[in-house]
Structure 1
């Protein structure tokens, strides 16, 4: 099963990548900027595989640049708490 099919698997994957980035000394700002770039990529090129991803994609596409940065930051916080 692909990590994109299950939202919990997706969050676990992101949490692992976040841990790796922090271990490499990446700043919170840099991590959030990378999360924003990933959000842009996913919204433009990847079809949602579950309801949670569909909601995130709709929110992303409706959001301004500043709001997208907030969504990216919230996703970072969400996976940090795991």
Structure 2
């Protein structure tokens, strides 16, 4: 099963990656920048597979670059807690 099929699986997957990056000394800013790049890729190249991803894509598409960076930071924060 793809991690994108289930939003809970996606949060868990992302949380594991965020924790690994932090454990390897990656700064919060660098993690947020990578999250923005991944979010931009997903929004432009991948069709959402569930309702949560659809909402995130709609928010991403509605936002300007600064708002998209905020969404990415919030996703990192949410994933870190899952």
Question: If the length of structure 2 is used for normalisation, what is the TM-score?
Answer: 0.97
Query: What's the CA shift for 1:23?
Result: 1.0
Once the two structures are superposed, residues 33-65 of structure 1 have per-residue CA deviations (whole angstroms, 9 ceiling, x without a partner) of: 000000000000000000000000010011000
1:23: which partner in 2? 23
Question: If the length of structure 1 is used for normalisation, what is the TM-score?
Answer: 0.97
- Structure with the larger RCO, 1 or 2 (CA within 8 Å, 6+ apart): 2
Q: Which runs of 5+ in 2 are unaligned?
A: none
1:76: which partner in 2? 76
Displacement over 2 Å in runs of 4+:
none
- Number of residue pairs aligned between Structure 1 and Structure 2: 82
| SS of the residue 2:25 aligns to | coil
Q: Which runs of 5+ in 1 are unaligned?
A: none
2:10: which partner in 1? 10
